[in-house]
Amino acid sequence: MRVIIMRRILTLNVSALAAIAVFAAGCGCGSNSGTTAGTPTTTTTTTGGTTPTSTAAKRPVPTAAGNTATGDKIVVGMVSSLNGDLKPWGDDSAKGGQLAVEEFNKQNPNGIGGKKIDFHVADSNSKPEQGKTAAEKLMSDGALAIVGEVASGITAQIANAAYEKGVPVVAVGATRTDLTDIGSNVFRVCYTDAFQGPVMATFAYKELGKRKAALVTDLKQPYSTGLSNSFRDFFTKLGGTVVDEEFYNTGDAQFSGQLTNLKSKGPDVIFMSGYFNETGPLARQAREQGLGKDVPLLGGDGWDSREILNTGGDAIVGSFFCNHYNSQETRPEVQDFLAKWKAKYGTAPGTTMGALGYDGTMLTLQSLKAAKSADSKDLMDALDNTENYKGVSGNITLKGMGGSPHKRALVVQLTNDPNAPQKFVKAYEWDDVFGAGGGPGAAPAATTTTK
């Protein structure tokens, strides 16, 4: 309740500040002239103190002081799902983090101001409560920042715990849209569900030419329900219809009832927003129910795993999903990263979390270097000032974004080639989907004007 009231006061302030900003826009940045009155709120950084920006101002600012580096070490923590359902992701995220630290140490043999990076990885066991415990342990060990997690539910717990302590969190693969509203200490290096849903909707509508979508949602996963909603909203906005939505629960085995219903509604595309564990059997049973290959299956980044090809078999080959990174991309960052990864671990990363774990850790370390002093608070400011950071998974700008960058998303296709299970299909930038300056929230206008 208190939070709500506080947010109301803050939003009032923001609108007042926005009005001032409109006046301010007249003198400084000419490129702002094209934007509407409500948008150029990025200029409110002049207020001093906590330097809130348009979306950041809505986010509560932690009052606790956070950690300061002591001795000759700077402790950076990572929470990762090294066991449990999300193990394929957690392993890659931790490996990516270690690779980033190794490389950073090589580039900066003296560390940061004589202090060496001390990287701790803690296991969340794919469970939110254990993730919270792991984060608390890392913070009591003096971690200046926490990198992770790969999933939104766990990250939310970590972010709340870190908010209490005033420690920044750089989420690796947590895409749930409202996650960064927890506090101004929360950042991420991945896109959000508010983007990947529309990306897949655009792909289905424009590239595949589909008009009638059916949704299959995992009721137990906030990730899945959120993603289904964002897909539905954008698909209908484009002019398509959502003919059916069916639900299941994590761990279900039999989907024939739902699939019979779904088939009778005659969709020409099916969006399955759940995780890979259930999507494989779902796809298999959908094909057995007579939903042919002319009805493509689409999904979000929750599909990203080799296991989906084992459980889904032939049924899932040829399906499309949204991902953060693809090894077939020719961008130099990707090819550099792949070479380094192969040199250290032998094989290419199995999931996208390798690249995101690397990006999250590297961004944190680079921000530490840029920070005024080695403490959580200055690190948070440095992270919040990130502009055009060239990550493996795409460019990251956090300045004025309220913690969630507008990153590119890739549509990839599953193949039965064991060496390249994910074929690169198409890359979407934020503007490709929402149009220049469009999209949810007022923030996109800010990014276009900072260039």
Contacting residues toward another protein, per CB under 8 A: 83-88, 126, 207-209, 211, 219, 225, 244-249, 251-254, 256-258, 260-261, 263-264, 266, 268, 277, 280-281, 284-285, 287-290, 294, 305, 307, 310-314, 411, 418, 425-426
Q: How far is the CB of 50 from another protein (least distance, A)?
A: 35
Residue closer to another protein (CB basis): 140 or 256:
256
CA dist., res. 71 & res. 58, Å (int): 36
CA-closest candidate to residue 189, choices 59, 96, 87, 75: 96
Tell me the H-state helices in 28-118.
87-107
Can the peptide bond before residue 164 be classed as cis, meaning omega within 30 degrees of 0?
Answer: no
The alpha carbons of the chain give a radius of gyration, in whole angstroms, of 22
Which residue number, 206 or 344, has a Cβ lying nearer to another protein? 206
Vertex 82, ends 402 and 178: CA angle to 5°? 20
* Cα–Cα dist 412/409, whole Å: 10
CB of 163 to another protein, least distance (A): 29
If the CB atoms of residues 102 and 307 are measured against another protein, the closer one turns out to be 307
Minimum CB separation of residue 216 from another protein in Å reads 9
Q: Taking the complex as a whole, how short is the minimal distance between the CB of residue 326 and another protein, in angstroms?
A: 13
Query: Cβ closer to another protein: 244 or 384?
Result: 244
- Is residue 338 within 8 Å of residue 327, measured between CB atoms? yes
Shortest reach from residue 448's CB to another protein, in Å: 23
| CA distances in angstroms from 137 to 120, 133, 142, 160, 445, listed in the order given | 10, 6, 9, 14, 39
Query: Phi and psi dihedrals of 390, rounded to 5?
Result: -90, 95
| Smaller CB separation from another protein, 96 or 312 | 312
Nearer to another protein, 265 or 390 (CB): 265
Least distance to another protein from the beta carbon of 244, Å?
8
